[in-house]
Homo-oligomer: A and B are copies of this chain.
Amino acid sequence: MSKRIIEQNAETLIFELSDQNRRSSSLAPDIDINDACNNLPEHLQRKKKLQLPQVGELQVVRHYTRLSQKNFSIDTHFYPLGSCTMKYNPRVCNTQAQLAGFTSRHPMAHSSMSQGVMSCMFDLQNMLMEATGMKQVSLTPMAGAQGEFAGIAMIRAYHDHNKELQPDKEPERSEIIVPDAAHGTNPATAVMSGYKVKEIPTNDQGDIDIDALEKMIGPQTAGIMLTNPSTLGVFERKIKLIADMIHKAGGLLYYDGANLNAILGKVKPGDMGFDVIHMNLHKTFSTPHGGGGPGSGPIGVSERLQPFVPVPIVGRNEQGYYWITEKQLPLSIGRLSAWMGNVGILLRAYIYALLLGRNGMVRVADFATLNANYLLKRLMEADFEMAFPERRASNEFILTLRKEAKEYGTTAMDFAKRLLDYGYHAPTTYFPLLVPECFLIEPTETESRDDLDAFVETLIKIRDEAEQSPNLLKDAPFELPVRRLDDVKAARELDLNFYYSKC
């Protein structure tokens, strides 16, 4: 047994390595600052001392290399974070997107100097249209939530436009229906577009309660936001019925594409009846999560929403590729970013799509689903309780630890923290909100069976620990750079800025 004798020190903050008199860089031009300042009006110049860290280059490299090692990541750990699709981010997507021709292009460069990147964007638009069965794709939203915003804004623009054309016939549509299991961005988005949110319950099979829906729909209904498969990890079987109900009432269907990985090449959202969708390229198309972003959330629309798509998009004619802007699309909801969104991320998704091809896309859904169902089955065999044991898992599934919580007093969070000790990133915890003590587990297609098996054994081992020495869970983690952190203190005694108390 090893003895832990040396208390690991907290990593110093970069500011603590700083000395304002240090000048150790070849990274800035050599220039007399005061000379240049003579060109700036005295009263508009900075008076307050700037306190950026002054640290040697080696020390900076060392600080951040060491910090990086404190992260779990796909490249180092199994990361079955439900709803997040933490699969392998092929490195070639990074190296090729970083080619100088791509990184050095100014967004306003003349289109004669932009045909390369524009052709990539055009092709990507088409591949995404094809894969989702939508009529037009706009790549500009910068993450899923912005895609949602664009989608709901288009639904609103559509209704507003209709009302303008037929002020008497069109009702005042003010409500968006959202399932109770929906991701938090859905209701938040609906509100940003000025809608009221109606929550629709889920039945014990994980399906939408059709009776409740029936009652909720009316002339005030602007639309419904759904993920399918849902965040409960099951496919909404009545989707066609739901689509008909909503459409009949004059509403539109929004598809939250966060779970597209489960059905790529299997079903197209367009065929299910959706009018507008977003895709999380940082999930299904494996662009990096980067510790919280950047993402990319292109939207796709059916014919009736085509006039409203956010600009710019890329078109092609005999002269080559060109920008389609509000000039050609006067009804567009407008722009969502200064240019066309996260192009560097879109390039990575494009490269990924080229590598996979249509054959590879189908494989994604196949193996994501195989892994999820296998893991579900293995865990059931090991007597873990599933939220929907009768259902096929999609790319993910929900396990509930309420039994363990009751019997051993160990919560899902305790299990999660103990998993970290064993070198596994925890699944998503306490989401969706309606299942108690839950884990939303998404293994993704790029994990091997051996790793899934090892994960099952670890969960069994932890449950044994819960029974025999529950404090091993409650006090976990033990093996990480820090023990369990005090969230309450973090929120009560806000410390968000090293300099705040000091300036």
A5 and B74 contact, CB distance less than 8 A: no
Closest residue on chain B to residue A75 by CB atoms: B65
By a CB distance below 8 angstroms, the chain B residues around A448 are 17, 56, 59
List CB contacts (< 8 Å) of A59-105 with chain B: 59, 61-62, 65-66, 69, 74-77, 87-88, 90-91
* A502 contacts chain B at the CB level, 8 A cutoff: no
Contact for A5 among B5, B26, B472, B483, CB less than 8 A: B472
Q: How far is the CB of A141 from chain B (nearest CB, A)?
A: 28
By a CB distance below 8 angstroms, the chain B residues around A69 are 69, 76
* A324 contacts chain B at the CB level, 8 A cutoff: no
Closest residue on chain B to residue A61 by CB atoms: B75
A30-74 to B contact mask, C-beta < 8 Å, 1/0: 000000000000000000000000001111011001100100001
By a CB distance below 8 angstroms, the chain B residues around A56 are 88, 446, 448
Q: How far is the CB of A151 from chain B (nearest CB, A)?
A: 32
Tell whether A450 pairs with B75 under 8 Å between CB atoms, given A4-B478, A355-B26.
Answer: no
* A467 contacts chain B at the CB level, 8 A cutoff: no
List CB contacts (< 8 Å) of A1-30 with chain B: 1-7, 17, 26
In the bound assembly, the distance between CA atoms of A1 and B56 in angstroms comes to: 34
* A422 contacts chain B at the CB level, 8 A cutoff: yes
Tell whether A5 pairs with B58 under 8 Å between CB atoms, given A69-B69, A76-B65, A355-B26.
Answer: no
Tell whether A88 pairs with B75 under 8 Å between CB atoms, given A6-B421, A483-B2.
Answer: no
Q: How far is the CB of A360 from chain B (nearest CB, A)?
A: 8
Q: How far is the CB of A177 from chain B (nearest CB, A)?
A: 39
In the bound assembly, the distance between CA atoms of A58 and B447 in angstroms comes to: 8
Q: How far is the CB of A26 from chain B (nearest CB, A)?
A: 6
B479 and A6 contact, CB distance less than 8 A: yes
Closest residue on chain B to residue A4 by CB atoms: B4
A483-494 to B contact mask, C-beta < 8 Å, 1/0: 100000000000
- Interface core residue of A59, A62, A87, A483 (most chain B CB under 10 Å): A62
**How many copies, total?**
2
B6 and A57 contact, CB distance less than 8 A: no
A248-270 to B contact mask, C-beta < 8 Å, 1/0: 00000000000000000000000
B58 and A74 contact, CB distance less than 8 A: yes
In the bound assembly, the distance between CA atoms of A17 and B449 in angstroms comes to: 11
Interface of chain A, helix or strand or loop or mixed?
Answer: loop
Chain A contact patch, size range: 35 or more
In the bound assembly, the distance between CA atoms of A87 and B62 in angstroms comes to: 12
In the bound assembly, the distance between CA atoms of A76 and B61 in angstroms comes to: 8
Q: How far is the CB of A159 from chain B (nearest CB, A)?
A: 45
B88 and A76 contact, CB distance less than 8 A: no
By a CB distance below 8 angstroms, the chain B residues around A76 are 62, 65-66, 69
Tell whether A6 pairs with B422 under 8 Å between CB atoms, given A61-B91, A88-B58, A91-B61.
Answer: yes
In the bound assembly, the distance between CA atoms of A66 and B87 in angstroms comes to: 17
B5 and A421 contact, CB distance less than 8 A: yes
Closest residue on chain B to residue A357 by CB atoms: B26
By a CB distance below 8 angstroms, the chain B residues around A4 are 1-4, 478-479
In the bound assembly, the distance between CA atoms of A87 and B61 in angstroms comes to: 12
A478 and B61 contact, CB distance less than 8 A: no
By a CB distance below 8 angstroms, the chain B residues around A65 are 75-76
B478 and A446 contact, CB distance less than 8 A: no
B57 and A90 contact, CB distance less than 8 A: yes
By a CB distance below 8 angstroms, the chain B residues around A447 are 58
Q: How far is the CB of A467 from chain B (nearest CB, A)?
A: 16
By a CB distance below 8 angstroms, the chain B residues around A75 are 61-62, 65
- Interface core residue of A7, A61, A421 (most chain B CB under 10 Å): A61
A403-439 to B contact mask, C-beta < 8 Å, 1/0: 0000000000000000001100000000000000000
In the bound assembly, the distance between CA atoms of A5 and B3 in angstroms comes to: 10
By a CB distance below 8 angstroms, the chain B residues around A58 are 74, 87-88, 446-447
Q: How far is the CB of A291 from chain B (nearest CB, A)?
A: 15
In the bound assembly, the distance between CA atoms of A1 and B355 in angstroms comes to: 49
B61 and A5 contact, CB distance less than 8 A: no
Contact for A61 among B2, B6, B88, B472, CB less than 8 A: B88
By a CB distance below 8 angstroms, the chain B residues around A2 are 4, 7, 478, 483
In the bound assembly, the distance between CA atoms of A147 and B472 in angstroms comes to: 58
19 extra interchain contacts, Cβ-Cβ under 8 A, other than A2-B478, A6-B479, A66-B76?
A1-B4, A2-B4, A3-B4, A3-B478, A4-B478, A4-B479, A5-B478, A6-B422, A6-B478, A17-B448, A17-B450, A26-B355, A56-B448, A57-B88, A57-B90, A58-B74, A58-B87, A62-B75, A69-B69
CB pairs A–B below 8 angstroms (13 shown): A1-B4, A2-B483, A5-B421, A6-B421, A6-B422, A6-B478, A17-B448, A57-B88, A58-B88, A59-B448, A61-B75, A61-B91, A62-B74
